[in-house]
């Protein structure tokens, strides 16, 4: 569960809401595109040690 908390927490810090699905190895992210861009989301996830594909 640590990876879930680290990713969801990091996304929350930049103003996004993330839901990690361990079974499918995916993250669903909700965000305001006028405040956050996809590059920032990718960077936050990669900073937690995970690949974004």
Rounded CA gap, 38 and 47, in Å?
Answer: 14
Residue 17 domain-assigned (yes or no): yes
pLDDT of residue 14: 97
Q: Contact, 13 vs 19, CB < 8 A?
A: no
pTM (2 decimals)?
0.88
Residue 32 domain-assigned (yes or no): yes
pLDDT of residue 3: 83
The rounded mean pLDDT for the chain is 94
Q: Is the pLDDT at 1 greater than 90, yes or no?
A: no
Tokens 């993330």: give the residue: 18
Tokens 């990718």: give the residue: 42
Higher pLDDT among residues 53 and 1, named by residue? 53
Residue 53 domain-assigned (yes or no): no
Question: What domain range is 33 assigned to?
Answer: 2-47
Residue 28 domain-assigned (yes or no): yes
pLDDT of residue 17: 97
Residue 35 domain-assigned (yes or no): yes
Kindly report, residue by residue over 14-37, the tens digit of the pLDDT. 999 999 999 999 999 999 999 999
> What would the two tokens of residue 13 be?
């810090």
CATH number at residue 16: 3.30.70.100
Number of structural domains the chain divides into: 1
Residue 52 domain-assigned (yes or no): no
């Amino acid at each position: 569960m640590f990876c879930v908390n680290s990713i969801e927490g990091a996304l929350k810090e930049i103003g996004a809401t993330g839901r990690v699905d361990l079974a499918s190895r995916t993250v669903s992210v909700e965000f305001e595109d006028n405040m956050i861009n996809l590059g920032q989301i990718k960077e936050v996830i990669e900073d937690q040690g995970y690949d974004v594909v």
